[in-house]
Amino acid sequence: MSEINTKKKGTYEFFFYKEKGKSIGVCLTLDIVEEGKNLKQVFNNLIEAVRGHIFTVIKKNLSDKLLNRPAPKYYWERLEEFIKLKEEQNKRIPEPVRLPPPSFYNMAHFDVPLELLSNYNFNASWFK
């Protein structure tokens, strides 16, 4: 998380993975966590929770500090593990073919700009 989020702009970082038979989704920027039976359900629930949080901060004109609450170290360490796994998988695949690692559909990491988060209808169909 390099930028400071405000009510007018920002980027929200998400990480989804499976652990001990559960699907987990984390908004790393806001320390919001959702658990569920499958990643698609967790994705949809987390997006709604994050939207609700952001819109409440905006509507009630609360402090921008509430839009910048990093998740605990544990989740950042899980993300680092995922990134290392992805890099190792890519090293084993010759250029120009770069396929996602086998765990791709069980883990995902991405950033979402505030504009997209507030105006886009998300679809988690790419999660298995």
The tens digit of pLDDT for each residue in 17-35 reads 888 889 999 999 999 999 9
Residue 29 lies in a domain: yes
Domain of 79, CATH number, reads 3.30.160
Query: Quick check: is 6 in a domain?
Result: no
Is residue 5 a part of any domain in this protein?
Answer: no
In a domain, residue 124? The reply is no
Q: Does residue 96 carry a pLDDT above 90?
A: no
The total domain count for the chain is 1
Overall size of the chain counted in residues: 128
Asked if residue 110 belongs to a domain, the reply is yes
Residues near 7 by Cβ (< 8 Å), separated by ≥ 6? Answer: 57, 58, 61, 64, 67
| CB-based contact 42:36 (threshold 8 Å) | yes
Percentage with pLDDT > 90 across the chain: 41
Q: 112: domain range?
A: 11-119
